[in-house]
Amino acid sequence: MTVQNISNLSTPPPRPLRLAETALFLDLDGTLAPIAARPQDVGPDARRTDLLESLARRLNGRLAVITGRTLSDVDHILEGCVPAVAAVHGLVRRDADGLVTETRPHPAVPRAAAALRTFAVRDPGLLVEDKAGLSVALHFRQAREHAPAARAFARELAQETGLGLQSGDMVAELRTPGARKGDSLRAFMGEPCFAGARPVFMGDDATDEDGFAAAEALGGFGVLVGPPRPTGARFRLDDVAAALDWLEASR
């Protein structure tokens, strides 16, 4: 993953999108929905659903969600309003026609899940999330004092099992090796519905940098949501509220 604009923390806000020439790719948590203390605390929102339905119509279907969430989570939170979804960071992908492809789970995922659950016993604020058997995440947002130990333990497990280690905002995830967010964006751009458009990827954390790079390489750009930090995104918005306002101004 290459992160551009390393020394530039004054990334400007984007102008409203030109929807007729855009293919829009959106992360979910921290981008379309505020990050909650527990993943299960995020649910449907009428404003967000209406906005995405409107954008999908205006974009003629050139809209996809690319997220670390499972496919069932996405459909619940977004009320099924976005057909094209890359879930579990790209290990599961449903194309614009509804066809679902899924990477075969790595056999070490159950072992890693059991080890993380044992680790999490030390504090009720440590949460383990099983993502459809393809990956397992250890959340420590509610137990920040355990963050260094949690990250170190996840690194050790990755080395022992051969699973990929993906670090995010107060989470360490052990995943089946395979497609990432940038791979998913490129796959969507190869579909007739998306082909020829300018890709725009909007996301909030380190797991989205791969998507920013893919969009830039295909003639588009990334939009970071959140505080200034080193990023490959060309533009930035302050928070989820600003992201939704920008999307509403573009539709």
- Tokens for 203, please give them: 């996301």
Q: Which amino acid is at 78?
A: L
- Tokens for 151, please give them: 């990250």
Q: Could you give the CA distance from residue 189 to residue 234 in angstroms, rounded to a whole number?
A: 20
- Tokens for 142, please give them: 């509610």
Q: Could you give the CA distance from residue 55 to residue 160 in angstroms, rounded to a whole number?
A: 44
Q: Of 81, 85, 79, which is closest to residue 185 (Cα–Cα)?
A: 85
Please report the DSSP string for 183-202 in residue order.
Answer: HHHHHHHTSTTTTTSEEEEE
Q: Could you give the CA distance from residue 224 to residue 12 in angstroms, rounded to a whole number?
A: 10
Residue 41 annotated in active site: no
- Tokens for 170, please give them: 């107060």
Burial class (CB in 10 A: 0-12, 13-18, 19+), 249: exposed
Q: What does each C-alpha distance from 155 to 19, 105, 204 come to in angstroms?
A: 42, 19, 23
Q: What does each C-alpha distance from 232 to 136, 217, 226 come to in angstroms?
A: 27, 11, 14
Residue with token string 């995440």: 137
Q: Return the active site residues.
A: 27
